[in-house]
Amino acid sequence: MKNYDLVVVGGGPAGLGAAIKARENGIENILVLERDHELGGILNQCIHNGFGLHVFNEELTGPEYAEIFVEKLRESKIEYRTNTFVLNISNNKVLDIINDETGFEKIEAKAVILAMGCRERSRGALKIPGTRPSGVLTAGTAQRLVNINGYNVGKEIVILGSGDIGLIMARRLTLEGAKVKLVLEIMDKPSGLERNINQCLNDFDIPLRLSHTISDIKGNDRVESVVVAQVDENLNPIKSTEEEIKCDTLILSVGLIPENELSKSAGVLIDSKSNGPIVDENLETNVRGIFACGNVLHVHGLVDNVTKESYIAGEKAADYIKALA
Partner 1 sequence: MIIEKTCIVCPIGCHLKIEKKQNSESGYEITGNNCPRGEKYALKEMINPERIVTSTIKIKDLKNLMLPVKTTDGIPKDKVLDFMKEVSNYEAIRPIKRGDIIIENIYGTGVNLVAAKTIN
Partner 2 sequence: MFDVIVIGSGIIGSYISRELSRYDLDVLVLEKENDVANGTSKANTALVHAGYDAKPNTNMAKFNVLGNSMFDKVCDELYVPFKRPGSLVLGFNDSDKNTIHDLYEKGIKNGVPGLSILDRKQLLELEPNIGDDVIIALHAATGGIVGPWELAIALMENAMDNGVSLNLNTEVIDIIKQESSFLVKTNQGEFESKILINAAGLFADTINNMVSNEKITINPVAGEYFLLDKTAQNLVSRVVFQCPSETSKGVVVTPTVHGNIVVGPDSIEILEKEDKATHKDRLDFIKNKALKSIKNIPFNENITNFTGLRASSTTGDFIIGEAKDVKGFINVAGIKSPGLSSAPAIGLYVSNLAVNILGDVKENSSFNPRRKKPLVFNDLTDDEKTEIIKKDKKYGNIICRCETVSEGEIVDCIKRNAGATTVDGVKKRVRPGMGRCQGGFCMPRVVEILSRELNIPMEEVMKNSKSSYILTGRTK
In whole angstroms, the minimum distance from the beta carbon of 56 to partner 1 comes to 12
Q: Which residues of 156-174 are buried (b: 16+ CB within 10 A; e: fewer)?
A: bbbbbbbbbbbbbbbbbbb
- Which residue among 77, 100, 149, 240 contacts partner 1 (CB under 8 A)? 149
Task: Please list every residue from 112 through 151 that binds partner 2, using CB under 8 A.
Answer: 119-120, 122-125, 127, 129-135, 137-138, 140-141, 144-146, 149-151
- Which residue among 24, 302, 312, 319 contacts partner 1 (CB under 8 A)? 302
Q: How many CA atoms lie within 13 A of 286 on its CB side?
A: 12
Nearer to partner 1, 171 or 298 (CB): 171
Q: How many residues belong to the site for partner 2 (CB under 8 A)?
A: 53
Amino acid at 158: V
- Residues 118 and 105: their CA atoms lie apart, in Å, by 25
In whole angstroms, the minimum distance from the beta carbon of 54 to partner 2 comes to 28
Task: Please list every residue from 159 through 178 that binds partner 1, using CB under 8 A.
Answer: 175-176
Nearer to partner 2, 74 or 155 (CB): 155
- What's the distance, CA 182 to chain centroid? 24
Nearest 5°: CA angle at 159, between 155 and 161? Answer: 165
Terminal C-alpha separation, the chain: 20
Q: Which residues pair with 108 in a beta bridge?
A: 3, 94
Sort 32 into a burial class: Cβ within 10 Å, 0-12 / 13-18 / 19+: buried
- Cβ atoms of 42 and 142 within 8 Å: the answer is no
Asked if residue 226 binds partner 1 (CB under 8 A), the reply is no
Asked if residue 72 binds partner 2 (CB under 8 A), the reply is no
The one segment of 16-24, 153-161, 206-214, 298-306 that binds partner 2 by CB under 8 A? 153-161
Look up residue 35 and give its DSSP letter.
S
In whole angstroms, the minimum distance from the beta carbon of 244 to partner 2 comes to 14
Nearer to partner 2, 222 or 322 (CB): 222
Kindly list the distances between the CA atom of residue 72 and the CA atoms of 46, 59, 139, in Å, as whole numbers in the listed order.
Answer: 20, 18, 30
Asked if residue 93 binds partner 1 (CB under 8 A), the reply is no
φ/ψ of 294, rounded to 5, equals: 85, -155
Binding site for partner 2 (CB under 8 A): 35, 83, 85, 87, 96, 98-104, 106, 119-120, 122-125, 127, 129-135, 137-138, 140-141, 144-146, 149-155, 176-177, 215-218, 220-222, 248, 259, 261
Binding site for partner 1 (CB under 8 A): 44, 47-50, 53, 59, 61-64, 67, 147-150, 175-176, 193-195, 197-199, 203, 301-302
